[in-house]
Amino acid sequence: MRWGFAICLLLLGNLAWADTIVATRSIRPQQIITAEDVRVDPSDVQGAHAYLGEVIGQEARVAIYPGRAVMLGQVGRPALVERNQMVELVFAKGGLRIVAEGRALARGGVGERIRVMNIDSRTVLFGTISENGTVLVSR
């Protein structure tokens, strides 16, 4: 009898219970998610966020409906640069630093790569958004 109980505990111990973050109300795209917008649900949904800290303060990339799990690609850093916004483009390599005026061709947050257009040459480049809103470009 003891062996059966021990085996049952061993098997149950290997089961992993996970939490899932679920929307409590409709969340619009580009809305910053607050603690009132989400809750922890004791279920396991593959590809969904499991911790409140991963979601609160982030920006919704798509509409998220009440009762639905918040999936990994649905939230991201809040946008610092808006589409068509004028931005400072910075190219730095070694001791060389070139600064130009550009236009963002997409919106994005700190650390994200976006397409930008150099206003003078009309060349489209890729760049990474820095903390102060400048775009660090590379060729």
Question: Which has the closest alpha carbon to 86: 124, 134, 126, 123?
Answer: 134
11 inside domain: no
Backbone φ, ψ for residue 73 (5° rounding): -85, 0
Percent of the chain beyond pLDDT 70?
Answer: 87
CATH code for the domain of 93: 2.30.30.760
Residue 120 resides in a domain? yes
When divided into structural domains, the chain yields a total of: 2
Residue after which a domain boundary falls, among 76, 98, 125? 76
Domain that holds residue 44: 17-76
- 8 pLDDT higher than 60: no
Q: Count Cβ atoms below 10 Å from residue 84 Cβ, excluding itself.
A: 11
Residue 11 — very low, low, confident or very high, per pLDDT cuts 50/70/90? very low
| Pair 63, 36 in one domain | yes
83-131 pLDDT, tens digit per residue, is 999 999 999 998 999 999 999 999 999 999 999 999 999 999 999 999 9
CATH code (residue 72): 3.90.1210.10
Residues 91 and 72 in one domain: no
72 and 21 within one domain: yes
